[in-house]
Structures are given as C-alpha cells and as structure tokens.
C-alpha cells in the first residue's frame, strides 16, 4: 500500500501501523512485510443506476483482495457515505489477520459502495447491488472471493448478489456469498453470529480476569446486527445494559435498560432515541460514561487520543472493525484496560460465514445448536490462544492476536514462495 496522501484514511494508518509494529515484533522477513503492506488487487468501479425519479445516479464501488495466500478471499461489503479505497483496503487487511487468526482457509477482502443506503428506495438498492455485482463479477466466486454483509448491507443484499452472479453463470451458485437468507442456502445462526461471538469472547475475558459477567454494567455503541444482538444476549444473561446508541444518538439509564422493550420501541420508531425512562446521550458521550464493559459496535476510529483517557470501562470489546486508533491503544494499555481486539472479538461473523460456505458446498445443513456450539468452541479456543500468547510475550491482547494472524499469513507466503 502506498503512503501517498490521496490514498490515506485514519483506518489505513491504523492498519499499517499495526502491521509495522507486528512485523517488528515477529522480526518478519523484509520481503514478506513489504508484500503484506500492499493489497494483491484493488478494483474501483462506477455504478450507474436508474433512480426512482427517472434520472441516472452514478455511485463509486470498491472491492479489494488483500491477499489469498491461505485460500480464497473473504470479507464483507459495506454501504456507507464516506467509504473510500483506503478504508476498504485497510478493512481487507484486517480480514486477512482475522481469518488467519481464526484458522479459516481464507485470505482477506472487503468491498464498499460510497452511498447512504438509508437515502435509497428498495428498488434503487436492488439496482445498485445488482450493477455493483455485475461490475465486480470477475473478482468474485465461490473459490475466488466470497462477499458477506457488513455495515449498511444485509441478507437481502446478499440474495441480490447471489442471484445476479448465478444468472450470469446459468446455474445457482450459493457459495458466492455468505450471510444469505436461510431459504436460499443461508446458515442458521449467521445473523446472530457476530454478536454471539462477542459474548463468548467476553465470557473468556471475564473468566481470565476472575470476574463474573452477570450483573456487569455494559454500554453498547451501535444497535444493529452486531451491537443489537450483543446487547440482547448479554441482557438475557443477566448483564445490566446501561447505555445504547445508534446513528441518530444514544440513551442512558444507570439502572439498566429493558432490551426487549427497547427492541419494540426501535421497531415502532426506527431508533433508540426517546425510549421512556432513559436520558438522551450522544454517541461520543456514551463512550466515556461510567460502565464496566464498553462495546464499540458501530463505526471505526471512535476511541482516539482525545477520549481514551476518559474511558471508564475496564474491558473494551471491539464489535466494530478498527474502532481504536493506535495512539488510543497505548493509552488504554497504560491504564490497564483490557481490550479484546476486533480481529478476535467480532470474528464470530466470518466464522459462521465459513460454516455457511462449507454447508453450501456440501449441500448439507447443520442444526442451529450445532452451529452455536461450534462457534463457541472456535471463539473460546482462539481467545485462549491469544491470552496465552499475550501472557507469554508480556503484551496486550491486540498485539498477541496480530502476531498470531500475521505470522500465519507470513508463513503461507514463505512456504509458497514468490512467483515467478
């Protein structure tokens, strides 16, 4: 990846700084380190679509394959108004470490379209998704690159992608995407997988720290597929959810929020704001309120040098990708705060994506209880491997997780060699 300013974003700076630090710790071969700093391929496409009012809108889309040394590339597709090539490249790099850390036979990828999906109608979203898929069609495939949902996309998006790809192939190809609706080859438990994985990671963190998760005060930034599910599962386990937020703002009640009632409120009003018995709070304020566990599960770069010293939680569980900048990481570490890093904490999503892909390739589907127990096993083992490495090396969990993920990819490069 270049360091030019036209190819720059806070997230890319974070990803490159993390890689450089890890390379130094691992005493990585210079050639391998250099290869890992650059994506293997990056595609930028224009997506012209017919809008409901008859005009033509043109959007910009990206798909980046960071590397495919351990297998086909894997990673989500995000629809967001500020997404750009640098951000997608950073997120693709994180997927490489995440898949390697979780022992999945995948390289890392990511896609994005620069659009605010809330401003498009359902028809416009379908047009956008189908044309984006057509534009990147040579880049994706069940043994090449497999997209999945991410911010701003969902099961319906994946169904449109799968249909568009399948139509060009003249046959149904379920393995081209994961996170599909159940009826067309999705997996039981995929929708909840990221949130559920966070809960398993938190259980392990609490166990190692000699704490009980029950009764803990937890604040969650983001109430979508990741934060919303994590909040509901933790609330059901007896945790006290003191604050939650979504794009429009947050709510707080230090005695706890009834998540089932909040879900009904969100279904009726479209957001968490105005939930009876709570105080309004901004997304920034939520991060620094008194609580014991903080789960940033929305956008990236929210924990920064200017607020890290005011975070009250003793555990930060990263549901989002890259929510903490490297400067903030140092502050949190010096303050003794346990950070469960994104590539471990939110890996439940891609783990169950892998289960979905395997089930689809075999045309044989597992029960939800089987998915859940396998997910728990994978998350618990990965957490314990990372914890043990952090203890051995005297580092924080992020450093250990990156060491493990980067080392595996580097090992793959080493043994495969440099072509030609």
Q: How far is residue 219's CA from residue 256's CA, in Å, rounded to a whole number?
A: 10
Q: Given candidates 61, 72, 76, 296, which one binds ligand GLU under the rule CB under 6 A?
A: 76
User: N- to C-terminal Cα distance for the chain?
Assistant: 21
Q: Given candidates 68, 221, 353, 359, which one binds ligand GLU under the rule CB under 6 A?
A: 353
Distance in Å, CB of 223 to ligand GLU, minimum: 17
Map the footprint of ligand GLU across residues 276-335, applying CB under 6 A: 321
Distance in Å, CB of 290 to ligand GLU, minimum: 30
Q: Given candidates 84, 150, 192, 329, which one binds ligand GLU under the rule CB under 6 A?
A: 150
Contact map string, positions 199 to 238, toward ligand GLU, x by CB under 6 A = ----------------------------------------
CB-wise, 191 or 265, nearer to ligand GLU? 191
Q: How far is residue 384's CA from residue 205's CA, in Å, rounded to a whole number?
A: 9
Distance in Å, CB of 66 to ligand GLU, minimum: 13
CA distances, 11 to each of 15, 89, 163 (Å) = 6, 9, 32
CB-wise, 20 or 154, nearer to ligand GLU? 154
Active site residue 392: no
Instruction: Report if residue 67 touches ligand GLU, rule: CB under 6 A.
Output: no
Angle made by CA atoms 101, 307, 405, in degrees to the nearest 5: 10
DSSP code, position 303:
B
Which residue minimizes CB distance to ligand GLU? 76
Instruction: Report if residue 349 touches ligand GLU, rule: CB under 6 A.
Output: yes
Neighbour-count burial of 3, counting CB atoms closer than 10 A to its CB (0-12 exposed, 13-18 middle, 19+ buried): exposed
Neighbour-count burial of 103, counting CB atoms closer than 10 A to its CB (0-12 exposed, 13-18 middle, 19+ buried): middle
What residues pair up with 375 in beta bridges, in sequence order? none
Distance in Å, CB of 4 to ligand GLU, minimum: 26
Q: How far is residue 191's CA from residue 182's CA, in Å, rounded to a whole number?
A: 10
Distance in Å, CB of 180 to ligand GLU, minimum: 11
> Which stretch in 72-80, 211-219, 232-240, 381-389 sits in contact with ligand GLU by CB under 6 A?
72-80
Place of tokens 């392990």: 204
Instruction: Report if residue 152 touches ligand GLU, rule: CB under 6 A.
Output: no
Instruction: Report if residue 148 touches ligand GLU, rule: CB under 6 A.
Output: yes
What three-state secondary structure class fits 330? Answer: helix
What three-state secondary structure class fits 206? Answer: helix
Contact map string, positions 25 to 64, toward ligand GLU, x by CB under 6 A = ----------------------------------------
Asked whether 175 and 357 are in contact (CB, 8 A), the reply is yes
What three-state secondary structure class fits 315? Answer: strand
Active site residue: 74, 98, 110, 180, which one? 110
Q: Is the peptide bond before 420 cis (omega within 30 degrees of 0)?
A: yes
Q: How far is residue 109's CA from residue 104's CA, in Å, rounded to a whole number?
A: 13
Instruction: Report if residue 74 touches ligand GLU, rule: CB under 6 A.
Output: yes
> Which stretch in 68-76, 231-239, 246-254, 385-393 sits in contact with ligand GLU by CB under 6 A?
68-76
Q: Which residues are catalytic?
A: 110
Which residues contact ligand GLU by CB under 6 A?
74-76, 148, 150, 178, 321, 346, 349-350, 353
């Amino acid at each position: 990846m270049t360091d030019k300013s036209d190819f720059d974003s806070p997230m890319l700076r974070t990803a490159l700084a993390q890689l450089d630090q890890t390379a130094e710790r691992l005493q990585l071969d210079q050639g391998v380190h250099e290869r890992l700093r650059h994506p293997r391929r990056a595609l930028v496409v224009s997506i012209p679509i017919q809008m409901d009012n008859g005009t033509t809108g043109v959007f910009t889309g990206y798909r980046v394959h960071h590397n495919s040394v351990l297998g086909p590339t894997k990673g989500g597709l995000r629809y967001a108004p500020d997404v750009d090539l640098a951000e997608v490249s950073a997120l693709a790099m994180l997927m490489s470490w995440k898949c390697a850390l979780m022992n999945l036979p995948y390289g890392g990828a990511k896609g994005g379209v620069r659009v605010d999906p809330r401003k498009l109608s359902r028809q416009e979203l379908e047009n956008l998704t189908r044309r984006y898929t057509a534009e990147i069609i040579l880049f994706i495939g069940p043994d090449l690159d497999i997209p999945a949902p991410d911010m701003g996309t969902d099961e319906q998006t994946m169904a449109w992608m799968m249909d568009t790809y399948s139509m060009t192939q003249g046959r149904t190809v379920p393995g081209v995407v994961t996170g599909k609706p159940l009826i067309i080859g999705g997996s039981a438990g995929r929708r909840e997988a990221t949130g559920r994985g966070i809960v398993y990671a938190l259980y392990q963190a609490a166990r190692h720290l000699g704490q009980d998760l029950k009764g803990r005060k937890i604040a969650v930034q983001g109430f979508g597929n990741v934060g919303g599910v994590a909040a509901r599962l933790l609330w059901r386990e007896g945790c006290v959810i003191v604050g939650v937020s979504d794009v429009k703002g947050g709510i707080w009640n230090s005695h706890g929020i009834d998540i089932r009632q909040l879900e009904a409120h969100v279904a009726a009003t479209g957001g968490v704001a105005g939930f009876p018995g709570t105080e309004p709070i901004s997304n920034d304020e939520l991060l620094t309120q008194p609580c014991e566990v903080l789960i940033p599960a929305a956008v990236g770069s929210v924990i920064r040098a200017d607020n890290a010293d005011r975070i009250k939680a003793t555990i930060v569980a990263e549901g989002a990708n890259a929510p903490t900048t490297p400067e903030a990481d140092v502050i949190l570490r010096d303050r003794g705060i346990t950070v469960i890093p994104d590539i471990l904490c939110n890996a439940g999503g891609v783990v169950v994506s892998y289960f979905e892909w395997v089930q689809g390739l075999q045309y044989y589907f597992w029960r939800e209880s089987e998915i859940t127990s396998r997910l728990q096993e994978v998350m618990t083992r990965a957490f314990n491997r990372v914890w043990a490495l952090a203890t051995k090396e005297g580092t924080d969990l992020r450093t250990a997780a990156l060491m493990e993920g980067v080392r595996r990819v580097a090992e793959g490069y080493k043994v495969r060699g440099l072509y030609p």
